Chain A
């Protein structure tokens, strides 16, 4: 990197595992408190105070888990692919570690989205599963996460594993717009998007405000889970460096 001026300073600081370890140590408690507050508030609101849907009754309350997890599963994938790309292009070790940390979290969140979808589908559509475009593309997202995890554990060299998973994650990125537009491109049982940036939600505020609280709470939870894994990865890979030695013996 001969010319460093065209990127902001924090970008290069991010490249330092030690700096990342320190900053995540400071950010972790903040996000943890935010996640607990938002998720507890959101859950109580969702289960007890939000009105029941006039058609679906109380099974509608599954939306407060289903929509945040479906959004997060996709965001997490995009983060994994972008971090992988940064690792590929700039050979940034921390970016590789971020990408690696995203995969197991994203997989469990995708499972949550699929499971709550199936549970919601049973009373609403009369079936746990249909081979519908939205459901199938979400299942592919889960398999992509599994693929990344399998590659990571199959390849011995950390660097080769990071490169291989980054390429897989980038190729799989094509699935994200397919998930998003699947409800428009194909005839589907699944309802269209709950939140869009351009239009008002098609529900009353007493329904979507708790949903928004849950979505933000899920993001905060993701940040916590992500930073916990990232810090482990930093310590494990930097174990030979003097600052990690100090950290461990101290």
Chain B
């Protein structure tokens, strides 16, 4: 362990804001890149289900 206490860990030797901001942005980028395609997938599937149903009703 590089830190003696939790407060020291948060403080990052006075650079806490910089370090934690970097890791927070990284987390945001990871989450966006996973959530965005998953939402897209749901949208594509609902759209196609609707299209198939429409085609069945009036062929």
Contacts and interface: CB of A to CB of B under 8 A. Distances in A.
Interface in B4-58: 9, 12-15, 18-19, 21-23, 25-26, 29-30, 32-34, 36-38, 40-41, 44-45, 48-49, 51-52
B26 A65 contact: yes
Interface stretch (A104-112, A140-148, A170-178): A104-112
A105 B22 CA distance: 18
Nearest to B8: A58
Interface in A87-139: 104-105, 108-109, 111-112, 115-116, 119-120, 122-123
B5 to A, nearest CB: 12
A122 B3 CA distance: 23
B37 A232 contact: yes
Given A58-B12, A248-B49, A48 B26 contact: no
A183 interface: no
Contacts of B37: 225, 228-229, 232
Contact of A108 (B14, B32, B51): B32
Given A43-B23, A48-B2, A249-B52, A228 B38 contact: yes
Interface residues on A, range: 35 or more
Given A49-B2, A108-B32, A228-B34, A65 B49 contact: no
A181 B47 CA distance: 47
A105 to B, nearest CB: 6
B22 A248 contact: no
Given A48-B2, A122-B18, A248 B26 contact: no
A224 interface: yes
A245 to B, nearest CB: 7
Contacts of B15: 57-59, 123
Contacts of A51: 2
B50 to A, nearest CB: 10
B18 A231 contact: no
A248 B52 CA distance: 9
B25 A116 contact: yes
Interface of B: 1-3, 9, 12-15, 18-19, 21-23, 25-26, 29-30, 32-34, 36-38, 40-41, 44-45, 48-49, 51-52
Interface of A: 39, 43, 47-52, 57-59, 61-62, 65-66, 69, 104-105, 108-109, 111-112, 115-116, 119-120, 122-123, 221, 224-225, 228-229, 231-232, 235-236, 239, 244-245, 248-249
